[in-house]
Chains A and B, each alone.
Chain A
Amino acid sequence: MDMTDLEGRARQVRARVLEMAHAGGSPHVGSALSCVDLLVGLYFSVLRIHPARPEDEARDRFILSKGHGCMAQYAVLVERGFFPASLLDEYARDGGCLSEHPSPRCVPGIELAAGSLGHGLPVGAGLALAARMRRQSYRVFVLISDAECYEGSVWEAALFAPAQRLDNLVALIDYNNWSAMSRTSPVLEPFSTKWGAFGWGVADIDGHDLPAIVSTLAGVPLEPGRPTAVIAHTTKGKGVSFMEDDLEWHYRPPNKDDLERALAEINGPTPRRSSGDRRP
């Protein structure tokens, strides 16, 4: 896998996210930027999918459970060729097909409705169970947010999946250490211990390290017979220095000046390494 190519894709996706947020006047740009690298790693290297056959029965299922990050998913689907970039203009527009939380099959590649937190993992477990019952070999990847793990239904599924030995299920947690109002780590920690205690195979990775993302997700299940939880340590607003780890960008849409500054950083000749990286 050519990591330079993936990095270029990630830059392109970030640029599109910023443009959508600006044009749509919509929030959650920080949440979208935090999961861009995870999505690029998945869509360009891990998922067994075919943009020309988005409903292929054998496809891996990807569920974005943190629906408010969907700008990143829309942009990645465009980058991967699921639908034309021109459709992104419909984002958050009256009568447009792309809402600020995805509708099921609003565009090819969107598997499931999202927006309310705590729904994706149980449904993903059901899809994983269906694969086993119907003797299909697809895998199910569910991207959930760290704050989403406050929802009880996440832990109902966390009990269920190992009991059913769903080793074709992967929970990928975008751990940017922010809920909509507070830091999450004081509530969640020790986080990986919890998943491990529930019977999941667990890995902690840097959620912006593309080689680590790809190699970890390519190696699932991490433990035979168990579902996998990958805790990806990320930075909210990743890639734009003045948005990184700043909760304001959960709410504030970038204005014209913000957009220009952000794009200049992303498209700059030497994208600078930010100090906001948190590695496990």
Chain B
Amino acid sequence: MRNAFIRSLTALAQQDERVVLLTGDLGYKIFDEFAERFPGRFLNAGVAEANMTGVAAGLALGGLRPFTYSIVPFATLRCFEQIRNDICYNNAGVTIVGVGGGYSYGPNGPSHHGLEDIAVMRALPNMTVVCPGDPVEAELAVLASASHRGAIYLRLGRAGDPVVHLQPPQFRIGQAITLRQGTDCALISTGGMLPVAVAAADLLEAEGISSRVVSMHTVKPLDQTTLRGCCLECRAMFTLEEHSMIGGLGAAVSEWLAANDLRCRLRCFGTADRFMHCSGSQAYLRQRDGLAAEQIAAEVSSWLKEHRRC
């Protein structure tokens, strides 16, 4: 997703001279082309995320369209109050790009894991939260951000995320993408869990279970139309996210169900409420949290068997 992001941003900068890119000293070599083509619009703001975020708010209020870039916790948590007060409170049009959602930077340890970002970004007024499911969605999300008013948190994976969409889907912020129809269950994923959702759906299909697969790339605002369809037409909904069970997609869908007095079975897959002290790759750490396709398919299958009568 990282490479798709910078490719797309370079194309966007070509069309829109307001686009400015600030990085918190991350992205070695990947911004070279951008910096060469738009030298006045690329800035390494250094390891000073609070200042970078405040500067971005100032640039936006001064008529530009800044993007800030860093690894998820540094882009969001380190400078959280700058995002809240400088960007959101002033309603400044900044796109905050967090690279390394979930366990993308697995071996780097919990300091680099991005597992609370959706929760905190979602709580902010004037903030839109977009977590593309694959590089194709990432590319489209960057282009869509150009015509969006207000702040966006764009949560990316890293380099080498698998491509899910073989054809570019129609992409609109706030509008989920349904990749596969089904009625036994709805697998609603956000961010880099999309390929896992598709793989789990394949495994379930082999068992005769039909899955609706939805990429809920925008966690805020939720696509209520798509959710309502899942709720009314599927036996159960399962949310999939590489993020804490607290405050992320699963929590957002739970809140939505409760607020709308809708009855639908919902089970949330996410990361546990603890720091992952052991080292490990993204694949390994996902497995520790039960987020591998096989684990999810097995859980969904047994859950559906247990709740056959509902």
Contacts and interface: CB of A to CB of B under 8 A. Distances in A.
B89 A113 contact: yes
Interface stretch (A28-36, A85-93, A121-129): A121-129
Contacts of B90: 104, 112-113, 123
Contacts of B59: 126-127, 129-130, 133
A126 B54 contact: yes
Nearest to B47: A156
Given A119-B81, A122-B82, 13 more contacts: A104-B91, A113-B85, A113-B89, A119-B85, A122-B53, A123-B86, A125-B55, A126-B61, A126-B66, A130-B63, A134-B62, A156-B48, A160-B51
B41 A126 contact: no
Interface in B64-119: 64, 66, 81-82, 85-86, 89-91
Contacts of B85: 113, 115-116, 119
A126 B56 contact: yes
A157 interface: yes
A156 B51 contact: yes
Interface residues of A, number: 29
Given A134-B63, A134-B64, A122 B51 contact: yes
B57 interface: yes
A153 interface: yes
A128 B45 contact: no
Contacts, number: 98
B141 to A, nearest CB: 24
Contacts of B63: 57, 130, 134
A152 interface: yes
Interface string A209-225: 00000000000000000
Interface residues of B, number: 29
26 contacts: A112-B61, A113-B85, A113-B90, A118-B50, A119-B86, A122-B57, A122-B58, A122-B86, A123-B55, A123-B61, A123-B86, A126-B61, A127-B58, A127-B59, A129-B55, A129-B58, A129-B59, A130-B61, A130-B64, A133-B20, A133-B40, A133-B41, A152-B50, A153-B50, A153-B51, A157-B55
Contacts of A115: 85
Contacts of A133: 20, 40-41, 59, 62, 64
Given A131-B62, A156-B50, A126 B55 contact: yes
A6 interface: no
A131 B55 CA distance: 12
B46 interface: yes
A188 interface: no
A159 interface: yes
Given A156-B48, A160-B46, A160-B48, A119 B61 contact: no
Interface of B: 20, 40-41, 45-46, 48, 50-64, 66, 81-82, 85-86, 89-91
Contact of B54 (A104, A111, A122, A159): A122
Contact of B57 (A116, A123, A160): A123
Nearest to A131: B62
Interface centre among B51, B61, B86, B90 (most CB of A within 10 A): B51
Contacts of B86: 113, 119, 122-123
B132 to A, nearest CB: 27
Contacts of A128: 58
A125 B56 CA distance: 9
A127 B64 CA distance: 10
A131 to B, nearest CB: 6
A202 B41 CA distance: 29
A131 B46 CA distance: 21
Nearest to B79: A153
B54 A127 contact: no
Interface in A99-124: 103-104, 111-113, 115-116, 118-119, 121-124
Contacts of A103: 89
Contacts of A123: 54-55, 57-58, 61, 86, 90
Contacts of B89: 103-104, 113
A157 B54 contact: yes
B80 to A, nearest CB: 11
Closest 4 CB pairs of A and B: A126-B58, A130-B62, A122-B54, A156-B51
Interface in A118-174: 118-119, 121-131, 133-134, 152-153, 156-157, 159-160
Contact of A125 (B20, B41, B58, B91): B58
